[in-house]
Amino acid sequence: MTHQSSDIMEVAFLGSLTGLVGLQNGDWFSQLEISPLFETIDDLKRSESILSDLFSNRCYKHLLAANNNRQEVMLGYSDSAKDGGIMASAWNLYQTQKRIIALADQQGIRCRLFHGRGGTVGRGGGPTHQSILAQPSNTVKGEIKFTEQGEVLSYKYGNRETAIFELSMGITGLFKASLGEVQDIKDEKQQYINTMNEIASISEDHFRKLTEGTDGFLDYFYEATPVTEIGMMNIGSRPSHRSKDNRSKSSVRAIAWVFGWGQARQNLPGWYGIGTALEQWHSQKPGRIKQLQTMYRKWPFFHTLLSNAQMALFKSDMTIAWEYAQLCSSPQTRDRIFTEIKNEYEHTRQQILMIAQIEDLLDETPVLKKSLSRRDSYLDPLNHIQLGLIRHYRNNNLSEEEQSMWLRPLLRSINAISAGLRNTG
């Protein structure tokens, strides 16, 4: 949550108090490399001005020189997606990277981008190779850094063969994305950039309309998903909420936000807003659908964005989602909000199929499609078991002892479903 350049200087000041930063025999030294982390959409948009202030600070210039003029900048995927939706988040991150690298090059600073990706699509997850290739041209300069979540580590690197495969895919992606270091690489077409500016804006408005401008939406979220129960699990490095008694969207942490929607088989953070944005944009002028189809074929960023959305849609199940919606105490709120979600689901599915020119989701990746399809015969019963457990646990007529009896199997069901969905956190 870096909001201003002083946030970084405060860390440097703390370092100076403990002898990690300062002057020695007239020369500056620094045993710290301080990385700003830009997370919200607003902070991503202001990152260039924040870094510009930082790089113009006389004291910080000395610290950079002591670290060979090297700066690491971390980009947060989770909060920006929760803030404005997956498409607005992805596009703002894309533009932010270009602005940061351009500023660093101008200042003669070697900048490494650190991608704070999660396991799910809604938190920047997806196949590593494609994710690296989808970075803006000339921003990957021979190195890249990104986080891997706990449950992702276990199945990617849990045995020698998969570890070698994953590392090889990452390294080859890095080689390809770093071609700009040895030859001239053209920037993206301005037409593509203009298109994404418009589409991302529509998508963000539609996402905020549901999540921030719809009465009863947060009641639906807390009642129609097991997010409250997820907060009782002994997982993760942080609690599910920033403030325990605050149930607002800004308080709930991104992991719990994504985890809750995933358990209820709605996966809303991975696709909501994309369908409306695509249709509104291409319906304004004839021929625009062909442009989107060309962008999907030729622009790795756009292709990866819609491919990841396909995976999130495929893991969603509106029939099971409706069963979770039945947990809502208000039928009016339930019907109104679930209808919005279901309509956008169908909308997004149809638009992506038309742009990708395929008949069904994940037709381009049959191995992944088969793998995910095989899990449904296990996941569907688990979801229905969990629904029964939630109803028992939330029964206000039960004593604390009886409630605790239902809580343990409920928490186990959350683990079981997340294991089947895999990239859940």
Is residue 293 located within the same domain as residue 313? Answer: yes
d(CA 51, CA 340): 40
> What would the two tokens of residue 82 be?
């929760």
Residues sharing a CB contact under 8 Å with residue 333, sequence separation 6 or more, in sequence order: 215, 216, 219, 220
Is residue 157 located within the same domain as residue 208? Answer: no
Is residue 243 located within the same domain as residue 296? Answer: yes
Domain count, the chain: 2
Is residue 218 located within the same domain as residue 174? Answer: no
Is residue 120 located within the same domain as residue 232? Answer: no
Q: CB of 406 within 8 A of CB of 393? A: yes
Q: Give the end of a domain, one of 121, 152, 181.
A: 181
Is residue 166 located within the same domain as residue 298? Answer: no
For 192-215, the pLDDT digits (tens) are 999 999 999 999 999 999 999 999
> What would the two tokens of residue 81 be?
């997606």
Rounded to 5°, angle at Cα 50 from 45 and 54: 155
Is residue 165 located within the same domain as residue 214? Answer: no
d(CA 221, CA 257): 9
Is residue 168 located within the same domain as residue 309? Answer: no
Q: Give the end of a domain, one of 151, 181, 211.
A: 181
Q: Give the end of a domain, one of 156, 181, 206.
A: 181
Most confident of the ranges 3-17, 122-136, 149-163: 3-17
Torsion 112-113-119-125 (CA) sign: negative
For 111-149, the pLDDT digits (tens) are 999 887 765 555 556 677 888 888 888 888 888 888 877
d(CA 182, CA 141): 10
> What would the two tokens of residue 411 be?
């928490």
Is residue 368 located within the same domain as residue 400? Answer: yes
For 64-92, the pLDDT digits (tens) are 999 899 999 998 877 778 888 899 988 99
d(CA 4, CA 54): 9
Q: What values do phi and psi take at 241, rounded to 5? A: -130, 145
Calculate the average pLDDT of the chain: 88
pLDDT at site 133: 84
Is residue 242 located within the same domain as residue 390? Answer: yes
For 296-308, the pLDDT digits (tens) are 999 999 999 999 9
Q: State what percent of residues in the chain have pLDDT above 70.
A: 93
Structural domain span for residue 400: 190-421
Is residue 159 located within the same domain as residue 194? Answer: no
* Residue 289: half-sphere exposure toward Cβ, Cα within 13 Å: 13
pLDDT band at 177 (very low <50, low <70, confident <90, very high): confident
Q: CB of 221 within 8 A of CB of 85? A: no
pTM: 0.86
Residues in the chain, total: 425
d(CA 91, CA 229): 33
d(CA 300, CA 368): 19
pLDDT over threshold 60, residue 244:
no
Is residue 307 located within the same domain as residue 411? Answer: yes
